[in-house]
Structure 1
Amino acid sequence: MTQQPTVKCLVWDLDNTLWQGTLLEDGDVDVPTAVREVVRELDARGILQSVASRNDHDHAWERLEKLGLAEFFVLPQINWGPKSASVRAIADQLNFALKTIAFVDDQPAERAEVSHHLPEVRCYRAEEVPELLSRPEFTPTMVTADARNRRLMYQAGFQRNTERSEHTGTDEEFLRSLGLELNIHRASEEDIARVEELTLRTSQMNATGVHYSDEALRALLSDQRHEVLVASLTDRFGPHGAVGVILLERLTEAFHIKLLATSCRVVSFGVGAALLRWLTDEAALAGTGLTASFRRTERNRMMEIAYRFAGFEEAEHTQEGEGIRTLRLAPTRQQPPAHLRVLAPRLFAEESGLTEWRPTTA
């Protein structure tokens, strides 16, 4: 039997589900302590939560604010339309597959309506809420620091997207206004869980689609021939968290990129291109070549385009097995992106700490 994927977002009904009573009839509704604990713990596990409720939006949201729970819910759908339409709208805006969405409601008819229109969404009775924390689908195998801050990062993302849509200048001007800072650092033991998560969850911007286990990554940390690098991004709205991973092997004739993966959330900020340009500049400074492993998958066309745009070409007679090809580039000095401040280690020297990548006239 195939194990169901971990739930990425739980959508709550309100009346007689999140809170006891019916808001329009009882007025003074409250949330049981056990339910509050479920909301807070799911948030701590990195599982997003939203609302699909038949209610007056302003009245219901005001009540959630008074109850001190409004901050935990993203993209609430409080209206008089079908619950299935609300759940689909939440999934679409989060860009989550329906099989990663769960819905909880006290009314059998509402659960049936959602199941009929969205059969991949898992539905739960209100009576099951206290048991959710013990269920495997609500128990991620790893809870990283980024996972614990996932809701805050998504909320910052919504604010960022709203401002972007209202911006009247060019996209380049908007990117410059964000104060973007890309921090590339050597992974520590504490980073490994997030690095593994990136190799597992990232598909569109993953150069090989290879998953590196916790054990394999820790072995690379202690191998002097390898660099395990983590890229994190921040801007004036807050942190994006860890958004990229580079596994680099120091060969005699080249720096070899065994894996480059970045989160799809930061494609529009040019992070993947910035990482490739930085690696190219580091290789040029070190006086060595630059090669990269690449395996075409059903979803990583964008990553292939990024490599080609950076100037990589397929090397002759370099099949690495399992469909992986070697791409090659003759490195030349590169300029940092104008919209992005980059702090990174020096790969060609024994220096510790981070250095700002600055424009060069060479």
Structure 2
Amino acid sequence: MTIVKCLVWDLDNTLWRGTLAEGDDVEVPEEIRRVITELDARGVLQSVASKNDHDVAWARLEQVGLAEYFVLPRIGWGPKSVSVKEIAERLDFAESTIAFVDDQPTERAEVAFHLPEVRCYPAEQAADLAALPEFTPPVVTEDSARRRRMYQAGFRRDTERERFTGPDEDFLRTLDLRMSVVRATERELARAAELTLRTSQMNATGVPYDDADLRALMDDPDHEVLVVTMSDRFGPHGAVGIVLLHRTADVWHLKLLATSCRVVAFGAGSTLLNWVVDRAALAGVHLAADFRPTDRNRMMDIAYRFAGFDDEACACLATLAPAVSDDVLRLHLLPEPRPVSPVVTLDAVDLAAVEVRRG
């Protein structure tokens, strides 16, 4: 089941009781307030699509202490399908990960007609949404509870970029971008599992790994389970990437490389991939990488190809276990040393320093 990443609320007679434009003294029921705070703690983003006067409605959300919970609110008089679509596009979320709740059947029907993948719920069901499986992520991590704040920091970052005059690289230098690559521990297991589930655009295979899968790889001395975090002067981005690497004496096999779409613009994917290539070159081994094309991960394909991976056969590939499915491509690279990123400061574990068992 696809997990909801963002819930879009109607306001009148949905989030609160009453109609603001008719002069009602609208109030938020406690059960709705609990749903909002619970979903926020789980890392489910929330927004607003409401037909109201923006300033009046937003002022009321501030008065009831809930304005901070909503990202990218759309409050105006246009079609709600347009508002929901804009929210999904701005978040860069697939429409299948968006949900919409409204008291009016006509509004739900309008959204469902134009955005058939968006899940629509009646207001009568709002108080029970947190109990539904699609609003219950399989893992909840320390990053989950601060996901909304990380996105809000990202929007402030975007605003500053729009005001910046000069090349993108010059702006990135002002951010003081820092990337850390560490071996996963028990503490990072849940974060690593969440990354395999949530990332789609920069995910090489789309294969999910749960805690048990990752723990088994961690216990194998020939496998590396690496968690990637980033930060900048606006604050932490949290866990933004995962690398699953099987190392032998002659070839390193990238079973999975995934980075969050939130950090694509900062060159996180290329920085991480170039680091792996550079470490493999230092170790004197070939690199293999699994890739399964989907309608969402074209960017990952481009990243691999740009890094020099191709479909050419190599004897080293015959030493690896078969791919997880027939639609997984196995790419190959004879690595050469790579330069460090000019805009990202990298602090990473030394892979080449660990002895690999020979078959």
The reply to whether residue 47 of structure 1 matches residue 52 of structure 2 is: no
Q: Conserved in 1, the CA contact under 8 Å of 2:139 and 2:193?
A: no
Which residue of 1 is the match for residue 91 of structure 2?
94
1:215-294 to 2 correspondences below 5 Å: 215-285=212-282, 287-294=283-290
Structure 1 residues 210 and 97: alpha-carbon distance in aligned structure 2, compared to 1, 3 A threshold: closer
Deviation at 1:91, TM superposition (A): 1.9
Deviation at 1:127, TM superposition (A): 2.1
Which residue of 1 is the match for residue 339 of structure 2?
335
1:164-243 to 2 correspondences below 5 Å: 164-243=161-240
Q: Conserved in 2, the CA contact under 8 Å of 1:280 and 1:290?
A: no
Which residue of 2 is the match for residue 359 of structure 1?
none
Deviation at 1:232, TM superposition (A): 0.8
Q: Distance in 1 between matches of 2:192 and 2:132?
A: 25
Q: Distance in 1 between matches of 2:18 and 2:68?
A: 21
Q: Distance in 1 between matches of 2:249 and 2:304?
A: 22
1:69-148 to 2 correspondences below 5 Å: 69-148=66-145
SS in 1 for 2:27: coil
Q: Conserved in 1, the CA contact under 8 Å of 2:249 and 2:285?
A: no
Deviation at 1:27, TM superposition (A): 5.2
The alignment yields a C-alpha RMSD, in angstroms, of 2.2
The reply to whether residue 17 of structure 1 matches residue 14 of structure 2 is: yes
Structure 1 residues 200 and 21: alpha-carbon distance in aligned structure 2, compared to 1, 3 A threshold: closer
Aligned amino acid, residue 329 of structure 1: L
SS in 2 for 1:146: helix
The reply to whether residue 31 of structure 1 matches residue 52 of structure 2 is: no
Structure 1 residues 271 and 18: alpha-carbon distance in aligned structure 2, compared to 1, 3 A threshold: same
Structure 2 residues not aligned, in runs of 5+: none
Which residue of 2 is the match for residue 68 of structure 1?
65
Deviation at 1:38, TM superposition (A): 0.9
Aligned amino acid, residue 96 of structure 1: F
Structure 1 residues 100 and 222: alpha-carbon distance in aligned structure 2, compared to 1, 3 A threshold: same
Aligned amino acid, residue 342 of structure 2: A
Query: Residue deviations 1:241-296, cap 9 Å, x none?
Result: 211111122211244333222222222211122112222333344x4214122334
Q: Distance in 1 between matches of 2:132 and 2:57?
A: 29
Q: Distance in 1 between matches of 2:81 and 2:123?
A: 17
SS in 2 for 1:14: coil
Q: Distance in 2 between matches of 1:294 and 1:54?
A: 47
Q: Distance in 2 between matches of 1:208 and 1:7?
A: 21
Query: Residue deviations 1:46-75, cap 9 Å, x none?
Result: 111111111111111111111110000111
Structure 1 residues 350 and 35: alpha-carbon distance in aligned structure 2, compared to 1, 3 A threshold: same
- Aligned-residue sequence identity (percent) comes to 60
Structure 1 residues not aligned, in runs of 5+: 352-362
Aligned amino acid, residue 298 of structure 1: T
Structure 1 residues 261 and 253: alpha-carbon distance in aligned structure 2, compared to 1, 3 A threshold: same
Q: Could you tell which deviates more after superposition, 36-45 or 322-331?
A: 322-331
Q: Conserved in 2, the CA contact under 8 Å of 1:208 and 1:324?
A: no
Structure 1 residues 279 and 83: alpha-carbon distance in aligned structure 2, compared to 1, 3 A threshold: closer
Q: Distance in 2 between matches of 1:87 and 1:249?
A: 42
